[in-house]
Amino acid sequence: MEYVERIIKQGDELFSKRCSLLSYWQEVADNFYPERADFTTCHNLGADMARNLTTSYPIMVRRDLGNAITSMTRPTAKEWLKMRSRRPEKESTKAKQWFEWMSKFIRNAMYDSRSGFVRATKEGDHDFASFGQTVISYEMNREFNGVLYRCWHLRDCAWMEDYTGKIDTVYRKWKPTVAVLMQLWPRDVHQDIKDKYSNDKFYEEVEVYHCVMPMDQYVSMGGKKMRQPFVSCFIDIEHKHMLEATGMWSLGYAIPRWSTVSGSQYAHSPAVVAALPDARLLQEVTTILLEAGEKAVTPPMVAVQEAIRGDVSLFAGGITYVDAEYDERLGEVLRAVQMVDKSGVQLGLETMQDIRVQLSDAFYLSKLNLPPIQGRDMTAYEVGQRIQEFIRNALPLFEPMETDYNGQLAEGTFDLIIHNSPEARRSIPAELAGQEFDFTFESPLHDAVEKIKVSQFMEAQQIIATAVQLDPSIVFMVDGQKATRDALSAAIPNDWLRDEGTVAEMLRQQQEKQALSEKLALMQQGADVAKTVKEASPTVGEGGGGGGVV
């Protein structure tokens, strides 16, 4: 089919244009991520991945930053993902409660033991820290009872952007075995694959492209129109054979990018860009110091060749035999070359320490801790200022990761749930029908930011209490219910709060009870007054008595 050849050709061009980038990624991996250093070479099982390194410090700073991405943006001890509408100021409490329910639904799908989410994001975090981007796929599993996440090697992926700069086309190289293809598409594989399976060539690898592209682009190449906005294609490259073409409601790949430059769809890690020269220098300095240490322990030797019988034995307990007729007054037969100036060793150690500090700064590790206490007890105000400084330093680093990284995964998971779970579709409140949603993310950083609402509320109370003494009408300036609701939302879960309708109904019932009580009180008061008047006034018979007819 001609359109299949066009899809393959487009993928070949994408990988060809990206070819020179592999050498840079290989250099980065060699210094910071040796487990991934197979962009231009092939790892053998059991190979020493870090055999080219003399110090592990660059690996450790990358490891610490990769681990920090998980702990700071996806802390497992809390509900780090929250859903909301694009206009959260108009959300009712009922809508907020549905968002909390859906957020838990999404989180449960992510942390299902079959989903592979933790493994995929763990691998993705270290790719992100090292190369500035990662590729994580999300899809319904084959049983359609959960979401499946997988992290893919950057070497095997290429992509394109649309005119807005958003990734809309992804190609992935895949080498499944004949047995896997027969398991997935037993009726749709090429006849050659069926023949290999029949001939017991189960584990022979087959080159396959997985391509996701916009539906209109797929149709322009000659494919069949579908109602979904994207199409997912699996293509047997050798036989130019379409294995599967299905419509998709979302891209199916989350490709967060840390720092991009105009003119390229590929990102880079600003940490590695700053640290790579220092990493190379640290390896060289460490090598020099190791050589200097070896010379100090086992210094170069000067020997009289004619006077030595056999080999020079410099190991512990070794014996070197010397000609008995040699005259020692002519000099020692075997003596060490004295290294007089050893000041360079101390300079090298100081240089190493300085490089390590620069590497830590390059990987933002110095930004992940609170500013140090200045040797004395601190007031509450000073502690607050330290926390604010920590937020200013760390939030610009992790906030883009939350929006681009966690945001893509959350939106993709939500799309899968909505289009594959009737229960989720039916649960959407009528007031949210047709609205667009997005996500916010909780982290240790955002905890401090949200708690500011509570302190603002308390401060507002103090200001109003002071100002109302000058003008009693000040109390009408602040919407007490809205301010209290926002402060409580920052302090407690929204499902602890009653929605506005329930509160209004309870207020109405309370007002009715109060009005009825007042009415009954007035009636009782009137009855008491009537009784009092009746008891105090004389009757008619009593007023005309005493006289009679004579």
Residue 51 forms part of a structural domain: yes
Phi, psi (deg, nearest 5) at residue 177: -85, 165
Query: How many domains, the chain?
Result: 3
Residue-level pLDDT at 175 = 95
Q: How far, in Å, CA of 204 to CA of 179, rounded? A: 8
Residue 133 forms part of a structural domain: yes
Q: How far, in Å, CA of 37 to CA of 168, rounded? A: 28
Top-confidence residue, 401 or 255: 255
Instruction: Assess whether 228 and 267 both reside in one domain.
Output: yes
Residue 145 forms part of a structural domain: yes
Residue-level pLDDT at 73 = 86
Top-confidence residue, 298 or 214: 214
Residue type, position 266, single letter: Y
Instruction: Assess whether 174 and 37 both reside in one domain.
Output: yes
pLDDT digits (tens, 9 = 90+) for 313-336: 676 767 777 777 777 777 777 777
pLDDT band of 544, cuts 50, 70, 90: very low
Residue 426's SS3 state is: helix
Residue type, position 196, single letter: K
Residue-level pLDDT at 535 = 75
Q: Is the pLDDT of residue 546 over 50?
A: no
Max avg pLDDT among 241-250, 361-370, 521-530: 241-250
pLDDT band of 494, cuts 50, 70, 90: low
Instruction: Assess whether 183 and 302 both reside in one domain.
Output: no
Q: Strands of 147-152's sheet, edge to edge?
A: 147-152, 135-140, 253-254
Residue-level pLDDT at 209 = 96
Instruction: Assess whether 177 and 196 both reside in one domain.
Output: yes
Please say which residue of 219, 250, 273 terminates a domain. Answer: 273
Average pLDDT (111-130) is 95
Residue 376 forms part of a structural domain: no
Residue-level pLDDT at 16 = 95
pLDDT band of 160, cuts 50, 70, 90: very high
Instruction: Assess whether 171 and 232 both reside in one domain.
Output: yes
Q: Is the pLDDT of residue 526 over 80?
A: no
Instruction: Assess whether 267 and 222 both reside in one domain.
Output: yes
Top-confidence residue, 512 or 149: 149
Residue 106 forms part of a structural domain: no
Residue given tokens 């899968």 in the structure block: 416
Q: Is the pLDDT of residue 44 over 90?
A: no
Phi, psi (deg, nearest 5) at residue 73: -110, -20
Residue 487 forms part of a structural domain: no
Instruction: Output the average pLDDT for the chain.
Output: 84
Instruction: Assess whether 279 and 173 both reside in one domain.
Output: no
Residue given tokens 């060289």 in the structure block: 284
pLDDT band of 427, cuts 50, 70, 90: confident
Residue-level pLDDT at 549 = 40
Max avg pLDDT among 116-125, 380-389, 461-470: 116-125
Instruction: Assess whether 224 and 286 both reside in one domain.
Output: no
Please say which residue of 323, 351, 367 terminates a domain. Answer: 367
Alpha helix stretches (DSSP H) within 343-479: 343-362, 380-401, 407-420, 422-426, 444-467
Least confident of 62-76, 172-186, 227-241: 62-76
Q: What is the DSSP letter of 221?
A: T
Residue-level pLDDT at 376 = 61
Q: Which domain holds residue 510?
A: 501-535
Instruction: Assess whether 122 and 145 both reside in one domain.
Output: yes
Instruction: Assess whether 268 and 291 both reside in one domain.
Output: no
Top-confidence residue, 337 or 2: 2
pLDDT digits (tens, 9 = 90+) for 436-459: 888 877 765 566 555 556 666 776
Give bridge partners of residue 185 from the DSSP assignment.
Answer: none
Distance set, CA 158 to CA 183, 237, 435, 457 (Å): 26, 16, 33, 50
Q: Are residues 160 and 169 in contact, defined by beta-carbon separation less than 8 angstroms?
A: yes
pLDDT band of 374, cuts 50, 70, 90: low
Please say which residue of 367, 394, 423 terminates a domain. Answer: 367
pLDDT band of 151, cuts 50, 70, 90: very high
Q: Is the pLDDT of residue 542 over 60?
A: no
Instruction: Assess whether 149 and 65 both reside in one domain.
Output: yes
What number of residues does the chain have?
Answer: 550
Residue 495 forms part of a structural domain: no
Give bridge partners of residue 170 from the DSSP assignment.
Answer: 159, 212
Q: Is the pLDDT of residue 11 over 80?
A: yes
pLDDT digits (tens, 9 = 90+) for 375-398: 566 665 566 666 667 767 777 777
Give the strand pairing for 157-161 and 230-236. unpaired
Residue 30 forms part of a structural domain: yes
Q: Is the pLDDT of residue 540 over 50?
A: no
Q: Is the pLDDT of residue 174 over 80?
A: yes
For the whole model, what pTM was predicted? 0.76
Instruction: Assess whether 188 and 304 both reside in one domain.
Output: no
pLDDT digits (tens, 9 = 90+) for 342-365: 667 788 888 899 999 999 999 988
Top-confidence residue, 93 or 177: 177
Residue-level pLDDT at 527 = 78
